[in-house]
Structure 1
Amino acid sequence: MEKSNTKWVIGGLLFLWACAPVLPKTPEVEPAPKTYGEWTNADTTNSGTISWRNFFTDKHLLSLIDTAMLYNPDLQIANQRVLMANAELLRSKAAMIPTLNANLSPAIRRYGLYTMDGAGNISTFIQPGKIVPINLPDIYVGLQSSWEADVWGKLRSRKKAATARWLASNEGRNWMTTQVVSNIALHYYELQALDNMLRIVDETIVLQENALNIVQVQKEAAAANQLAVEQFAAQLLNTKAIKTQLQQQVVDHETALQLLLGKFPGTVVRDTANYLTTAVPAMQTGVPAMLLQQRPDIRQATFLLEATKMDVQAARAAFLPGFNITAAFGYQAFQPNLLFRTPESMAYALAGSIVAPLLNRGALKAEFASANARQIEALYQYQQTVLTGVAEVYNEMKRLQNLEQLYQQRNEQATVLTTSIETASALFRSGRATYLELLINQQNALQARLEVIAAKKQQWQTSVNLYKALGGGW
Structure 2
Amino acid sequence: MKNNNILSLLTVLSAGLILNACKLPVISIKDTNISLPLFYTGTATTDTSLAGTIAWRKYFNDPFLISLIDTALQNNQELRIILQEIEVGKNEVKARRGEYLPFVNAGFTTGFEKSGQYTRNGAVEEALEIKEGHKFPKPLPDVLLAANASWELDVWKKLRNAKKSAVLSYLASIEGKNFMVTQLVSEIASAYYELQTFDNLLNILNSSIEIQSNTLSVIRKEKDAAKVSQLAVNRFEAQLLNTQNLQYSIRQQIVETENRIHFLSGKYLSKIQRSVMTDNPLLPEPFTAGIPSQLLQNRPDLKQAALELEASKLNIEVAKANFYPSFRLTAGLGFQSFNPVFLLSPASVLYNLAGDITMPVINRNAIQAIYQNASAKQIQAVYNYERAILKAYIEVLNQLNGIDNYTKSYQTKEREVNILSNSIAISNNLYRAARADYAEVLLTQKEAIESKIDLNEIQLKQKLTKLNLYKSLGGGWN
| TM-score, normalised by the number of residues in structure 2 | 0.93
Report whether the alignment pairs 1:43 with 2:47.
Answer: yes
Aligned-residue offset at 1:313? 0.4
Aligned-residue offset at 1:468? 1.0
Distance (whole Å) between structure 2 residues aligned to residue 189 and residue 115 of structure 1: 89
Aligned to 1:228: 232
Report whether the alignment pairs 1:180 with 2:184.
Answer: yes
Counterpart of 2:322, as a letter, is A
Distance (whole Å) between structure 2 residues aligned to residue 296 and residue 13 of structure 1: 48
Aligned pairs (5 A) from 1:57-206: 57-206=61-210
Counterpart of 1:429, as a letter, is R
CA contact (8 A) 1:324 1:353 kept: yes
CA contact (8 A) 1:192 1:275 kept: no
Distance (whole Å) between structure 2 residues aligned to residue 178 and residue 249 of structure 1: 25
- Report Cα offsets for 1:314-355 as digits up to 9, x if no partner: 0000111111011111111111222112x1111111111111
CA contact (8 A) 1:122 1:134 kept: no
CA contact (8 A) 2:32 2:386 kept: no
Aligned-residue offset at 1:128? 2.5
Change (3 A) 1:88 1:174: same
Aligned-residue offset at 1:179? 0.3
Distance (whole Å) between structure 2 residues aligned to residue 16 and residue 334 of structure 1: 49
- Report Cα offsets for 1:345-389 as digits up to 9, x if no partner: 111111111111112422111110111111111111111111111
Aligned to 2:408: 405
Distance (whole Å) between structure 1 residues aligned to residue 312 and residue 126 of structure 2: 61
Report whether the alignment pairs 1:237 with 2:212.
Answer: no
Aligned-residue offset at 1:104? 1.2
CA contact (8 A) 1:148 1:324 kept: yes
Match of 2:372 among 363, 369, 374: 369
Counterpart of 1:321, as a letter, is P
Aligned to 1:211: 215
CA contact (8 A) 2:60 2:282 kept: no
Distance (whole Å) between structure 1 residues aligned to residue 381 and residue 118 of structure 2: 64
Distance (whole Å) between structure 1 residues aligned to residue 432 and residue 133 of structure 2: 134
Bigger CA drift: 320-329 or 29-38? 29-38
Aligned-residue offset at 1:23? 6.3
Aligned-residue offset at 1:115? 3.7
Q: Which runs of 5+ in 2 are unaligned?
A: none
Aligned to 1:444: 447
Q: How many aligned residue pairs are there? A: 468
Bigger CA drift: 166-175 or 359-368? 359-368
Aligned-residue offset at 1:111? 3.1
CA contact (8 A) 2:22 2:324 kept: no
Distance (whole Å) between structure 1 residues aligned to residue 133 and residue 26 of structure 2: 67
Distance (whole Å) between structure 1 residues aligned to residue 17 and residue 65 of structure 2: 66
Aligned to 1:261: 265
Bigger CA drift: 281-290 or 451-460? 281-290
Report whether the alignment pairs 1:347 with 2:350.
Answer: yes
Aligned to 1:430: 433
Distance (whole Å) between structure 2 residues aligned to residue 238 and residue 348 of structure 1: 95
Percent identity for Structure 1 against Structure 2: 38
- SS of the residue corresponding to residue 344 of structure 1 reads helix
Aligned-residue offset at 1:68? 0.5
Aligned to 1:322: 326
Distance (whole Å) between structure 1 residues aligned to residue 328 and residue 362 of structure 2: 20
Report whether the alignment pairs 1:394 with 2:394.
Answer: no
Aligned-residue offset at 1:419? 1.7
- SS of the residue corresponding to residue 122 of structure 1 reads helix
Counterpart of 1:329, as a letter, is L
Aligned to 2:301: 297
Counterpart of 2:61, as a letter, is T
- SS of the residue corresponding to residue 127 of structure 2 reads coil
Aligned to 1:461: 464
Distance (whole Å) between structure 2 residues aligned to residue 361 and residue 112 of structure 1: 44
Aligned-residue offset at 1:289? 0.8
Aligned-residue offset at 1:17? 7.8
Counterpart of 2:414, as a letter, is N
Distance (whole Å) between structure 2 residues aligned to residue 321 and residue 279 of structure 1: 63
Aligned-residue offset at 1:69? 0.7
- SS of the residue corresponding to residue 388 of structure 1 reads helix
CA contact (8 A) 2:282 2:463 kept: no
Aligned-residue offset at 1:264? 2.2
- SS of the residue corresponding to residue 26 of structure 1 reads coil
Counterpart of 1:110, as a letter, is K
Distance (whole Å) between structure 1 residues aligned to residue 22 and residue 89 of structure 2: 34
Counterpart of 2:268, as a letter, is F
Report whether the alignment pairs 1:380 with 2:383.
Answer: yes
Aligned-residue offset at 1:248? 1.0
Aligned to 2:423: 420
Aligned-residue offset at 1:269? 0.7
- SS of the residue corresponding to residue 262 of structure 2 reads helix
| TM-score, normalised by the number of residues in structure 1 | 0.94
Bigger CA drift: 263-272 or 312-321? 263-272
Counterpart of 1:334, as a letter, is F
